[in-house]
């Protein structure tokens, strides 16, 4: 009997790629490793993400590439560059709604198999030392509130990794060498959360 290997599509930006860490330390790859250790069969994750992408840029890219017709699970982590560039939350709402519906469609209309991760707070990093860190956190919270509300509307699991990311203010080991992105240690924390959601449907 042929084994079924699950597929995982990960959509996003630098946080999904694992900017400044080895590929295998990114949360998509660590998620798959955790799932395999649990006895589940998974292909390597397919990643559609570029450092610097906003929701609009990810959405636009998805309109011009050919993906598989179906994925067993899809993750979505996007929005930090909307905040960084000072873009409007109203546009973010529209783009994120499109991305959420696209992700649900790719799971054959199974919203419980789409997993949204909240936007990490780069305001606590040394990179933001010369900026208004409280304002960054406030804006990140506003974007995340939209993400959470839309997930609730579409019955999509929402994982809050923002609070975990804020621990980097006191623990330098959670940051990558560039002092802006996150280390494999923090990606592991995210991967554990994603793997737990997936295991509830695959156990």
Per-domain residue ranges for the chain?
8-116+146-164+188-202
Fold of 8-116+146-164+188-202: Rossmann fold (3.40.50)
Where do the DSSP E strands lie in 13-113?
46-49, 73-77
pLDDT at 42: 97
Quote the percentage of the chain above a pLDDT of 70. Answer: 98
Eight-state DSSP code of residue 119: P
Tell me the pLDDT band of 46, cut-offs 50, 70 and 90: very high
Distance separating alpha carbons of residues 158 and 22, to the nearest angstrom: 26
> Which segments within the chain are labelled E, that is strand?
8-12, 46-49, 73-77, 114-117, 158-159
Mean of per-residue pLDDT scores for the chain? 96
Give the predicted TM-score (pTM) of the model: 0.97
In the predicted structure, residue 170 carries a pLDDT above the cut 70: yes
């Amino acid at each position: 009997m042929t084994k079924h290997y699950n597929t995982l599509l990960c959509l996003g930006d630098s946080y999904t790629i694992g900017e400044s860490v080895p590929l295998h330390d990114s949360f998509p790859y660590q998620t798959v490793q955790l799932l395999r250790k649990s006895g589940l069969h998974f292909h390597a994750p397919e990643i559609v993400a570029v450092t610097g992408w906003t929701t609009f840029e990810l959405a636009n890219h998805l309109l011009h590439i050919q993906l598989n017709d179906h994925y067993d699970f899809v993750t979505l982590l996007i929005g930090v560059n909307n905040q960084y560039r000072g873009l409007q939350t109203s546009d973010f709402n529209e783009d994120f709604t499109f991305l959420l519906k696209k992700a649900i469609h790719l799971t054959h209309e199974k919203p419980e198999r789409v997993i949204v991760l909240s936007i990490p707070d780069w305001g606590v990093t040394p990179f933001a030392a010369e900026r208004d860190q409280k304002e960054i956190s406030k804006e990140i919270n506003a974007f995340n509130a939209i993400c959470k509300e839309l997930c609730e509307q579409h019955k999509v699991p929402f994982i809050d990794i923002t609070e975990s990311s804020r621990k980097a203010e006191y623990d330098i080991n959670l940051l990558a060498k560039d002092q802006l992105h996150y280390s494999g240690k923090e990606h592991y924390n995210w991967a554990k959360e994603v793997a737990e959601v997936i295991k509830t449907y695959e156990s």
